Amino acid sequence: MKKKKITELVKEELRPFLEQENYQLYNIEFIKEGKEWYLRIFIEKAPGSDRDWPENVSTDDCEKVSRYISEKLDLLDPIDQNYYLEVSSPGMDRLLLKDEDYKRYQGQLVDIKLYKSIDGKKNITGKLLGICEGYIDIEDEKGNPMHLSCENVSMTRLTIVF
């Protein structure tokens, strides 16, 4: 089965369980690293009715989801090759993948990697101001506003501040 179909199948199998258990799917990836295949599922707890995001995902939460999807996949057996199943939270330095991620973390510090440099820089850190119509707006470390084309952004992740 193709990688895209596997991730879509896993999404469909997980959806009712995640809703029932008050989790939300952050991302799924089925990738080969070296000689090994990995099915990685990233979850977080769903926001409450007030749209506030609750506490972080625990190892118990990951184990619960892992047991559920492992049993489902054992029954369906959609993956031909051997693989490792990993269930985790997206982490403190999570990637921002969808527009809703950018909206949720507006006002936070982000690290952005670019395909093509701007003013000699391919890595930019700044305060996320928003995303709109194919552009990410940030305020760089010097307080200068930047309007970055999403097409030039290879990756955006939250900055870990200690």
Domain ranges across the chain? 3-88, 99-158
Amino acid 54: pLDDT: 54
Task: Determine the average pLDDT of the residues in 144-160.
Answer: 95
pTM: 0.84
Closest CA to 90 of 23, 154, 135: 23
The answer to whether residues 45 and 22 touch, using CB atoms and an 8 Å cutoff, is: yes
What class, spelled out in words, does domain 3-88 have in CATH? alpha beta
**How confident is residue 51, by pLDDT bands cut at 50, 70 and 90?**
low
CATH number listed for the domain at residues 99-158: 2.30.30.180
Q: What is the pLDDT of residues 101-150, one digit of tens each?
A: 999 899 999 999 999 999 899 999 999 999 999 999 999 989 999 999 99
Whole-number Å distance between alpha carbons of 149 and 79: 37
**How confident is residue 49, by pLDDT bands cut at 50, 70 and 90?**
low
